[in-house]
Amino acid sequence: MKHWLLSTASSLLNTCEQSLRVVLVVLLIVVVGCTTQRLSLSSQLSPGMTMEQARGVMGNPVKTEFSGRYTAWHYCSTGFGSDRFVTLVFADEKLIETFNYTVTLAEGGYGDCSSFTRRVDFSKYQTYSSAQPRKEKPTVVSGTAWLLDSGYVVTNHHVIDGGSRFVLIGKDKAEIPMEVIAKDRHNDLALLRAKSLVNRQGLKLSTDRVSMGASVATMGFPHTDIMGSEAKLSVGIVNSTTGFQDDPRTYQVSVPVQSGNSGGPLVNEYGYVVGIVTAKLSAFTVFMWTGDMPENVNYAVKSSYLKILTDSHTGVDAGPPNASAKKSPEELAELMSGCVFQIISSSE
C-alpha cells in the first residue's frame, strides 16, 4: 500500500509539473506576443507627434533618458534568443526620430530587456531647433530679447537657431531689424545688434555671486497668441545655484516662465542682470517618468557666461557693484519695460 501511495504521489507531481510548464510557456507566449504587438505599433508614429500622442500609441516606456530639451523613451520585448527594442526621441516634447534594434543572447542580452537599452547620443540632434522638429518650410519662432547697451541685444541661441531674419517688436509694434554678432550654442546664448538702439541705455550686467534664496525677477512675452502681446513680469527666488543635474552654468529659479520667455533677463533686487532665462523642466515628462508632477522648476544661464561673450565681441562692461537701494517689483518692471522686447526669428 505504501509503495502504491508513493508511486501515485510521484505520478501526480510529475503531471502537475508538466502542466505548470505548459501554463508558464503559454503565459510567456501571451506576454511576449502582446509586448511585441505593442512594439509593432511604432509604425503608426510620425515626426511632430506630441509625447501624449506617442504614449497613446505605445503606452508607458520602460526607461527614460533626459538631456537638456531632449527626451528619449525606450520600449522593449523579451523574446526567445533575442530582445527587441524601440526608442523614441523627442525635442521639446515633439517626436523627431524613432529607431529599432535587437540584442541577442550572444551579445549579452540575458535577463530583463530593460537592462540592455542603448544610451542615446543626443549630440547628433543639436541641429533641431528648440521649438519644432526640423522642417523644410519656413518657420517663425517668438521669444524674448533685451537691450544690453550700445545697441547690443541678448537672447537665447535656440530662439534664433535656424533663422535668417531677426526683428524686435517695439512698444509701438514697429519692427526693429537686427544682425547677429555672436553665438554660443553650448551655453544657449546669442548676441545681436540693432543700429537704431545704439544710443538707448540698456540693462547692466552683474557678475556678483548670487546666493540661494536671493530674490529675482524677469520680464518676457510668453504665449503672445493666447496671453496677449504686452510684456509679463514674473518674480521668484533662486532655488539652487546649479541647474538640471547640477549643471554649474545655470541657476534653478522659481520665477514662473512659459514658452516665449526664453532669452529674457533675470535681474536681482537692484535691477542688474544675473542670468538669462533659458528653459523649464517638462512637468509632463517627469510625471511620465516618476509619477510625480513637478511645479515651477525653471533655469537661467548665469550672466558670467554672457560676459565672456560680450568681452570677446563688444566694449560693454559689466555693471557697477550692486547699488545700496533695492528696487520694488514695480520699480523693476519700470526699469525692464524700456529694455525688453519680443523677438521674432524667421527662416525665409
Residue 76: the pLDDT is 85
Evaluate whether 162 touches 343 at the Cβ level (below 8 Å).
Answer: no
Residue 324: the pLDDT is 67
* Beta strands at 215-220 and 232-240: parallel, antiparallel or unpaired: antiparallel
When pLDDT is cut at 50, 70 and 90, the band that residue 321 belongs to is low
When pLDDT is cut at 50, 70 and 90, the band that residue 286 belongs to is low
Evaluate whether 332 touches 217 at the Cβ level (below 8 Å).
Answer: yes
pLDDT in tens, 213-254: 999 999 999 988 889 889 999 999 999 999 988 999 999 999
DSSP label at residue 107: G
Q: Which residues pair with 102 in a beta bridge?
A: 84
Evaluate whether 322 touches 208 at the Cβ level (below 8 Å).
Answer: yes
If one compares 115 and 346, the residue with the highest pLDDT of the two is 346
| Residue 332 CB-half CA count within 13 A | 25
C-alpha closest to that of 265 among 151, 98, 153, 113: 153
The residue ranges of every structural domain in the chain are: 22-125, 140-346
C-alpha closest to that of 71 among 294, 297, 283, 300: 283
Q: What is the DSSP string of 185-215?
A: TTTTEEEEE-GGGTTS--PPB--S---TT-E
- Residue 62's Cβ-count burial label (10 Å; 0-12, 13-18, 19+) is middle
Give the predicted TM-score (pTM) of the model: 0.61
Query: Would you say residue 185 has pLDDT above 60?
Result: yes
Query: Would you say residue 313 has pLDDT above 80?
Result: yes
Query: Would you say residue 302 has pLDDT above 60?
Result: yes
When pLDDT is cut at 50, 70 and 90, the band that residue 323 belongs to is low
Of 3.40.50.620, 3.40.1160.10, 3.30.1450.10, 3.90.226.10, the CATH number of 22-125 is 3.30.1450.10
If one compares 88 and 2, the residue with the highest pLDDT of the two is 88
- Residue 42's Cβ-count burial label (10 Å; 0-12, 13-18, 19+) is middle
Query: Would you say residue 194 has pLDDT above 70?
Result: yes
- Which H/E stretch holds residue 337? helix 329-337
Q: How big is the chain, counted in residues?
A: 348
Mean pLDDT of 39-59: 85
Radius of gyration of the chain (CA): 27
Which of 6-20, 148-162, 194-208, 313-327 is predicted least confidently? 6-20
User: Cα torsion for 304, 306, 309, 311, to the nearest 10°?
Assistant: -60
If one compares 159 and 4, the residue with the highest pLDDT of the two is 159
Mean pLDDT of 58-78: 85
Q: Which residues pair with 167 in a beta bridge?
A: 177, 344
pLDDT in tens, 231-240: 999 999 999 9
CATH number belonging to domain 140-346: 2.40.10.120
- Which H/E stretch holds residue 276? strand 273-280
Phi-psi region of 2 (alpha: psi -120 to 50; beta: other; left: phi over 0): alpha
From CA 64, how far away is CA 161, in angstroms rounded? 26
Query: Would you say residue 318 has pLDDT above 60?
Result: yes
Which are the contacts of 136, defined by CB distance < 8 A and separation ≥ 6?
A: none
Query: Would you say residue 138 has pLDDT above 80?
Result: no
